[in-house]
Structure 1
């Protein structure tokens, strides 16, 4: 009887582990400044980003510069918590939302980034702030589409 209980416990543990999602994955967040056609001073992008664990502080990206953040995500229920939020300011104003979520482990959010899922790229352009979505073209090659997420607005 004791042997059967041990075997049942072992089998239950194997099934439980097999059904759990991967606890951690690699995350990749890129923030790009592609504002062009204006004076450099006006084209600079100021940004401040933070996650649940870290505040990365304020940074400035000149035109055609980018910052890449690589991190480990926690994606195991009930601990789905990795999320990066940022504030953005340019010579054209700020994003319409004061704080934008630029990466989240929520599966619906990651799907917005494209088929790569854990790679999100955000791009500042002269007319607004874009999410660069990775898609597959008709030949199954990776390509990108920029989706406007926020026009620049003035807030007082």
Structure 2
């Protein structure tokens, strides 16, 4: 009986320590480049990937967006959900060739805003922004755009 009880206790403790995924992560990329007369210049080319998935290249026209939903893992030492992207526009590329747009590590989730499970990135004519989600005095969501990179030319 003692051995069965020890085994049962081990299974219960192990199950309690296993990482549990959060509800879901959400990544949104938006093209809000405006005021451009040449349509080709206002397009945004995007390539995103994680350790598990390569989402490939996509072209976003102005006012278009792409949304990805996924399960995230956020329990030490299993914090692993991370998406990285490359961006190209008619105005150049971001300062960093590869941008981490979603990560459960290092407090990045808080940088995305309220809830931390969704990150919104926005391309505008003058640069590339992370849209932080905040709550106003009445508890409603508001958005604050934080410039992360001006467009630069690299060869």
Q: What is the TM-score when the length of structure 2 is the normalising length?
A: 0.88
* 1:1-156 alignment, distance < 5 Å: 3=1, 6-7=4-5, 10-11=8-9, 13-14=11-12, 17-18=15-16, 21-39=19-37, 40-106=39-105, 108-156=107-155
- SS at 2:72's partner residue? strand
What count of residue pairs does the alignment treat as equivalent? Answer: 154
Superposed CA offset, 1:20-66 (max 9, x none): 55235411100000000002211100011111011111110000000
Question: 1:21, 1:56 → 2: CA distance?
Answer: 25
Structure 2 unaligned residues grouped into runs of 5+: none
8 Å CA contact 1:25, 1:74 repeated in 2:
no
**Structure 1 residues 20 and 54 mapped into 2: Cα distance closer, same or farther (>3 Å)?**
closer
Q: Distance in 1 between matches of 2:122 and 2:79?
A: 26
Secondary structure in 1 matching 2:110: helix
Q: Is the 1:24–1:76 contact (alpha carbons within 8 Å) kept by the matching residues of 2?
A: no
- Mapped to 2, the partners of 1:141 and 1:69 lie a distance apart of 23
Residues 135, 141 of structure 2: 8 Å contact kept: yes
The alignment's C-alpha RMSD in Å is 1.9
Write out the 4+ residue segments of structure 1 that deviate beyond 3 Å after TM superposition. Answer: 3-21
Structure 1 unaligned residues grouped into runs of 5+: none
Contact 2:43 2:89 in 1 (8 A): yes
